[in-house]
Amino acid sequence: MQPVPPSDSSSPATWIELWSLREDILLEEQPDDDSVVLRSQWGDLHIPRPGAVLTEALRRMQLGPVQLENVPGTEELAARVRLLTALRQLGGLVVRSIGAPDGEQPLLSVVPTATGVRLDPVLVPEDRLLRLSRFAALRSTGRVSLLESPLSPFRAAFTRPEAGWLIASLGRPITLERAVERLPIARPTAVALLSHLVATGMVEVAEQVAQPHDATFPEDHDPALLPWSHDDLRFHWSSRPGPHDRQFGATYPLRGRQDQPPVLKPAPAGPRISLPRPDPGKPDWDTSLAEALDRRRSVRSHGEQGMTLHQLGELLHRSLRVRSTGDPLSADVLPQASSRPYPSGGACYELEFYLTAGRCEGLEPGVYYYEPLGHELIRLPSDERLGTALLSEAQTGTGMAAPPDLLLTMTARFARVSWKYSGLAYALTLKHVGVVQQTLYLMTTGMGLAGCALGTGNTSLSAEAFGLDWRTESAVGEFVLGSLPAGDETR
């Protein structure tokens, strides 16, 4: 596709080409060696001897979108060409915007989210259908609307509705003419908006002239994209650093805005059952790690005689208890630390554990919360039908012939992680679930018990059964427990 030309200055302007620096760019002039430095999250860019025109342009672009024609020294075409060439070398530091003649907020701003990328608006073919990428998502920050995609090194930002109306029309294959015919803006302006959106890769152009029901787009048969759903690709993209410019890592985004939840959840009210603790020292079933790993498997049937309360107590004690609560690591970062048998990123330990008992010798059927510091079960006032429904769902999820003896549900107090981490908080929680599931597999294998992890569970059902607000604490993993059937050689 051909680059799109700027608006024709010989006719009344319908749109204005604007240039600016990313909001996080810091411009520093170095008079000692006649240079300027652009500081960004990607490092410093040193520009030796930039000249008066480029220096003035950068000064103005740091303050907001500007027309290059308004920069002193660009009266001649050759000067403007030199300035344009210099700006194109700045790559991901430069924001391209489309302004309206009324001088209000830009209609659209395209912000680079990676270093070394450059937006080159293209002419949109009149005879081809257009469509929004199925991986693009429109969201609000509370101040502006953003169009983003894991496949694009740009995001498109706008506060005025015209761009949003245009984007909304692209939810299905549509011609350029149909996309712009009802917009309350001049056609050249709408075409300019589309040329910028196509250049970001978030709007696709059909591969051939066709009717909407016959049109094919590059994403439709890309073997690398066919396996991905919108949600999965976006989650992968956003939960690792590299392909985006969002805050990432231990940034403590909620410090000063919200107290970090305590390291130990306040225990719910209810009858308490003290669980047996294993004798100190080596257990009588002392299976080596190598043996446990070699024998580990998912067991989807349980024996005629159920697990005992003693076995349950030993399993929970060795796997999930709080070993100790220590001195604060840092008074302004982690109010309190704890030590547990399984690891947790940042010592967050956001996982909580609920037990739905169908059959366990010494324990009445019902729904319980495991209190890991006191090593106790607390009976929850849950309706019997909810416990039955949880076990029934676990039976379906594992493909068992009968309801499992015990279901251990892992929930997460999300703010324990998101108070400290940006970007990877939920991904980190899912990794913790995997850590705990593997710990339980090794323990059940060593103890000669039946264990099986579930792939998923019902968020609403578990929240109701445990009395939770799923927005603050919700189920994130499940594990079925029981006795081994007769003749099973797992141990």
Distances in whole angstroms, Cα of residue 257 to Cα of each of 35, 221, 252, 260, 420:
41, 46, 10, 9, 12
157: which residues sit within 8 A by CB, 6+ positions away? 108, 109, 110, 111, 144, 145, 146, 147
d(CA 337, CA 344): 11
Q: Which strand (E) or helix (H) includes residue 442?
A: helix 425-447
Any idea what DSSP says for residue 127? T
Closest CA to 353 of 441, 229, 468, 484: 468
Task: Report the C-alpha dihedral over residues 470, 472, 477, 478, rounded to 10 degrees.
Answer: -60
* Burial class of residue 289 in the structure, from the number of CB atoms within 10 Å of its CB (0-12 exposed, 13-18 middle, 19+ buried): exposed
d(CA 242, CA 363): 50
d(CA 479, CA 458): 13
Looking at residue 490, its pLDDT comes to 52
Q: How many helices (H) and strands (E) does the chain have?
A: 12, 23
Helix locations, 308-355, DSSP H? 309-320
DSSP string, 131-196: EE-TT-EEEE-SSSEEEE-TT-SEEEEESSHHHHHHHHGGGS-EEHHHHHTTSSS-HHHHHHHHHH
Backbone torsion region of residue 73, taken as left when φ is above 0, otherwise alpha when ψ lies between -120 and 50, otherwise beta: left
Radius of gyration over every alpha carbon of the chain, rounded to an integer in angstroms: 30
pLDDT along the chain (491 residues), means of 10: 50 83 94 91 92 95 94 91 93 94 89 93 91 96 96 96 93 92 89 96 93 90 95 94 86 90 93 93 86 94 95 97 72 65 94 97 97 97 96 96 97 96 95 98 96 95 97 97 82 47
Looking at residue 9, its pLDDT comes to 43
d(CA 301, CA 295): 16
353 close to 267: Cβ distance less than 8 angstroms: no
* Burial class of residue 172 in the structure, from the number of CB atoms within 10 Å of its CB (0-12 exposed, 13-18 middle, 19+ buried): exposed
d(CA 96, CA 120): 9
Looking at residue 142, its pLDDT comes to 94
Looking at residue 210, its pLDDT comes to 82
Looking at residue 10, its pLDDT comes to 42
Looking at residue 116, its pLDDT comes to 87
Looking at residue 327, its pLDDT comes to 52
DSSP string, 234-256: HHHHHTSSSSS-S--EE--TTTT
Looking at residue 489, its pLDDT comes to 57
d(CA 178, CA 175): 5
Domains and CATH numbers, the chain: 16-238 (no CATH), 249-483 (3.40.109.10)
